[in-house]
């Protein structure tokens, strides 16, 4: 037994040289002088945002949203978000808050998980480990500057605070997180109005789509079958296993028999919204539903879908409870999987400490070291933490303290 312990300890230290790399997501301000992100209208710091002009408040809030996504995604390649604030218009009761998407997609790159399949450029770069779209923006994002005026949405403006407490205003960071989610890959390249694949190729997103009424996945459907599926509300499902496993907190929005997550597929078709959003039936509301329903910084189910797409995910170090008016973020009594560093991602030293607990050389609370919620601290828990430490996509779930 002691000899086996020494072998695993050596493996732990040999593996310590490959930590997970959080993604750097950078805003590229593409607005002209004096408008949008450069608007000189005086403003006051609010909700932790230190900006003193309207443009600075906007830019700080978008970068904050980029940082929230970046902390949870692994990539050694910088992700560039080309962004503008433009007057999009709207009415006193409704408006398009923003729109975004990847600037392009790639196939058959180094480390591509599946040949002949389109991957959005931020994901393709992450998987390839190099910038295959050098010198260009990876995501294009536009936000509606008219929301901050007196006509569109009436007295309701964007709220640029970091604290998720917008009151009666629209939480901009929630909107930015949603749009960045599309840019990072939560969308299909299929023309949903015709059912035609982009250049006749599958894309990573559509690989996870199935019409439950026919039992067919989108890659094998005809164009006409995809058109019909795009308006088959209740039967268009996300089948990816990671997202299905992440739905334990939902009270509605999954298929009772399969556990598949319901997608947005209303009839008639809603161009720009259909298929590339979660269904409105999900409860509680999720970030990637097609309409804003209040401040929401909860990334978990969408991150699980990103894992189904091919992203490597960094486990979160906080728990977040979100309602339509407040967001509360608290550090748990102990950080799951990190008894030594107390931070995510855990390190090889955390794995070693858990292994020492498993063989009786140390002690550690279950809510920190029982990372598979198996009821005890075992060598398998140390291995899972080691796998997370070296960048593998492994879920760590500890029992409550």
Q: Are residue 216 and residue 240 in the same domain, yes or no?
A: yes
Closest by alpha carbon to 13, among 382, 396, 394, 323? 382
Bridge partners for 83 per DSSP: 29, 141
pTM of the complete model: 0.76
To the nearest whole percent, how much of the chain has pLDDT over 90?
A: 72
The bridge status of strand 261-262 relative to strand 236-238 is antiparallel
Assign 3-state DSSP to the chain and report helix, strand, coil percentages, each to 5: 30, 15, 50
- At 261 the three-state DSSP class reads strand
Of 255, 400, 257, 259, nearest to 336 by C-alpha is: 400
Question: Mean pLDDT across the stretch 189-208?
Answer: 98
174, 211: one domain: no
Question: Cβ-count burial of 42 within 10 angstroms (0-12 exposed, 13-18 middle, 19+ buried)?
Answer: exposed
Per-residue model confidence as pLDDT tens digits over 263-315: 999 999 999 999 999 999 999 999 999 999 999 999 999 999 999 999 999 98
Outline where 86-130 has alpha helix (H): 121-128
Domain boundary among 247, 262, 277: 262
Helices (H), 151-299: 172-184, 223-229, 241-245
How far, in Å, CA of 176 to CA of 142, rounded? 10
Q: 277 in a domain, yes or no?
A: no
Domain that holds residue 30: 21-185
Q: Are 31 and 119 within one domain?
A: yes
Helical (H) or strand (E) element with 350: helix 348-358
Q: Is residue 51 part of a domain?
A: yes
Q: Which of 185, 217, 236 is the last residue of a domain?
A: 185
Rg (CA), the chain: 22
48 plus 150 within the same structural domain: yes
Residues 226 and 362 occupy one common structural domain? no
Measured CA to CA in angstroms, residue 285 lies from 81, 247, 322, 351 at distances of 26, 12, 9, 36
pLDDT at 400: 59
Find out whether 268 and 231 touch, Cβ atoms under 8 Å: yes
Residue 310 in any domain: the answer is: no
Domain count, the chain: 3
Decide: residue 20, CB within 10 A, 0-12 exposed, 13-18 middle, 19+ buried: buried
- What number of residues does the chain have? 401
Q: How many CA atoms lie within 13 A of 277 on its CB side?
A: 26
Average pLDDT rounded to a whole number, residues 12-40: 78
User: 209: helix, coil or strand?
Assistant: strand
The answer to whether position 41 is within a domain reads yes
- pLDDT 10s digits, 142-182: 999 999 999 999 999 999 999 999 999 999 999 999 999 99
Confidence of residue 374 (pLDDT cuts 50, 70, 90): confident
Same domain, 26 and 12: no
Residues 226 and 342 in one domain: no
Indicate whether 366 belongs to any domain.
yes
Write the pLDDT tens digit of every residue in 309-366: 999 999 875 333 332 332 222 323 357 788 876 666 678 877 888 888 888 877 788 8
Query: What three-state secondary structure class fits 145?
Result: helix
123 and 39 in one domain?
Answer: yes
Q: Note whether residue 81 is domain-resident.
A: yes
Q: What dihedral angle (degrees, nearest 10) is formed by the CA atoms of 132, 135, 140, 141?
A: 130
- Structural tokens at position 17: 């040289």
What is d(CA 349, CA 13) in angstroms, rounded to the nearest whole number? 8
């Amino acid at each position: 037994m002691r000899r086996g312990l020494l072998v695993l300890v050596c493996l732990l230290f040999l593996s310590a040289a490959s930590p997970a790399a959080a993604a750097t997501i950078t805003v590229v301000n593409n607005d002209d002088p004096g408008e949008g992100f450069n608007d000189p209208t005086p403003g006051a710091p609010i909700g932790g945002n230190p900006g003193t002009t309207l443009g600075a408040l906007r830019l700080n809030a978008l970068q904050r949203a980029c940082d929230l996504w970046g902390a949870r995604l692994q990539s050694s390649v910088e992700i560039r978000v080309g962004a503008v604030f433009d007057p999009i218009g709207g009415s006193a009761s409704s408006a398009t808050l923003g729109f975004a998407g990847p600037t392009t997609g790639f196939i058959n790159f180094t480390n591509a998980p599946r040949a002949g399949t389109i991957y959005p450029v931020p994901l393709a770069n992450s998987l390839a480990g190099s910038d295959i779209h050098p010198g260009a923006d990876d995501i294009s994002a536009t936000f509606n500057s008219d929301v901050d005026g007196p006509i569109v949405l009436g007295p309701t403006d964007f709220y640029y605070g970091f604290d998720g407490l917008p009151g009666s205003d629209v939480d901009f960071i929630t909107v930015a997180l949603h749009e960045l989610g599309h840019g990072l890959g939560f969308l299909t390249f299929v023309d949903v109005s015709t059912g035609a694949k982009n250049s006749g190729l599958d894309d990573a997103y559509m690989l996870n789509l199935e019409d439950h009424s026919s039992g067919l996945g989108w890659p094998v459907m005809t164009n006409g079958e995809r058109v019909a599926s795009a308006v088959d509300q209740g039967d268009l499902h996300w089948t990816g296993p990671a997202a299905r496993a992440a739905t334990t907190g939902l009270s509605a929005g999954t298929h009772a028999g399969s556990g598949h997550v319901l997608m947005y597929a209303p009839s008639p078709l809603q161009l720009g919204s259909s298929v590339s959003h979660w269904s409105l039936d999900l409860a509680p509301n999720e970030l990637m539903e097609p309409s804003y329903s209040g401040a929401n910084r909860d990334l978990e189910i969408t991150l699980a879908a990103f894992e189904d797409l091919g992203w490597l995910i960094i486990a979160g170090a906080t728990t977040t409870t979100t309602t339509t008016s407040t967001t509360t973020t608290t550090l748990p009594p102990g950080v799951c999987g990190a008894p030594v560093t107390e931070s995510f991602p855990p390190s090889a030293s955390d794995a070693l400490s858990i292994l020492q607990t498993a063989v009786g050389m140390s002690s550690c609370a279950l809510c920190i070291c029982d990372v598979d919620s198996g009821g005890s601290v075992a060598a398998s828990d140390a291995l899972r933490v080691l796998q997370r430490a070296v960048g593998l996509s492994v879920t760590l779930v500890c029992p409550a303290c």
